[in-house]
Amino acid sequence: MIALAEAIGLPFEIKQLEYNALCHLGPRLLGRSTASLTPASRASVLDCDPPDLTISAGHRSVPVVRALRRRSGGAIRSIHVGFPRISPGHFDLVIATPQYPIADHPKLLRVPYALTRAATAPIDQASMALLADLPRPRRLLVVGGPTLFWKLDETQLLETLNGMLEEAARVGGSVLVTTSPRTPPEVESELALAVERAGVPGLLAVPGKPPRYSALLDGADSIRITADSVAMISDAIWTQKPLGLVPVAKSTRGGIVMAIWEWLRPGRRLYPQDLRFFWRALEEVGISERVAKPRISIDQLMRSVLDRVRPLLSSSIERKNGGRGKD
């Protein structure tokens, strides 16, 4: 959301909403309501001048955005990033990556990967100093963790890391590994042991401790990343560096659910997301297990998004100036 707001280039304010237990009812039942907000959050969105445009994410925010639009008489324009769990027709634009089961709609813009700020955020110089002595080329391995239908393929992951370490021993350079909050502790321990035993320059970074994730992305020359996270893969794409995916495996639940789903609704996306469709979209732009530069420009993607956003801003300004528009 912030990446998009920054790209638009107009002044914006961040509203970090907090919710009560009613948020679990979901956007369909809540409709156009602020009932799921805590009193402080309700005041923060209602007791102020209405914005020209809202940019939201997460299905919990959907009833709030709809309530604001109704309160403004349709003057507020709305963009939702991700899966709102209701029709895109309730917004002016929905921007979503391919894994979400959203039916095609004139107000839906599918993008092959997500907008992110990780690669463009200000670099922590203290973190960069920790990388300064690591020789190039620096090979970065980004490790996620289990999701609803997928789990890390530990054998494949360790084979990938060992291959990176062997390459560094043979031709020079270093190996960086970073885990995520979802990485199982036992996997993190195995990765740390492999790096320690390899005898090549390297480090293992963990969440909440330096070096920061953004510094690792900035300091790496190539990136390998487990295929379980759309956000982390998108972060890597925005660096414009060569990258490759480390395959993940179906979890027990995932194997059962996918078998039943393919029998009932073959070829359709799983709810609430189906990473297989994301991976197919990545293949179309040259992102696979082989380390290579993507065949799509990040500038091209941003232009395609802004081309859909600018008309919304123009119509909002016309309304403020007394023109007539369509909600």
Q: How confident is the model at residue 327 (pLDDT cuts 50, 70, 90)?
A: very low
Is 41 among the domain residues? yes
The pLDDT of residue 320: 61
The pLDDT of residue 323: 55
State the pairing for strand pair 202-205/243-246. unpaired
Domain identity same for 267 and 158:
yes
Domain identity same for 167 and 256:
yes
Domain identity same for 158 and 37:
no
Q: How confident is the model at residue 68 (pLDDT cuts 50, 70, 90)?
A: very high
Between 117 and 116, the more confident residue is: 116
Is 193 among the domain residues? yes
Domain identity same for 165 and 281:
yes
Which H, E and C letters describe 215-274, residue by residue?
HHHHHCCEEEEECCCHHHHHHHHHCCCCEEEECEEECHHHHHHHHHHHHHCCCCCCCCCC
Is 325 among the domain residues? no
First to last CA, the chain: 22
User: Domain limits at 216?
Assistant: 125-295
Is 145 among the domain residues? yes
CATH number at residue 213: 3.40.50
Say yes or no to pLDDT of 291 above 70: yes
Tens-digit pLDDT profile for residues 138-153:
999 999 999 999 999 9
**Three-state secondary structure call for residue 34:** coil
Number of domains present in the structure of the chain: 2
Domain identity same for 65 and 142:
no
Domain identity same for 286 and 310:
no
Domain identity same for 189 and 222:
yes
Strand stretches in 33-135, DSSP E:
53-57, 77-81, 93-96, 108-110
Domain identity same for 136 and 221:
yes
Instruction: Calculate mean pLDDT across residues 48-65.
Output: 94
The pLDDT of residue 313: 84
Domain identity same for 94 and 13:
yes
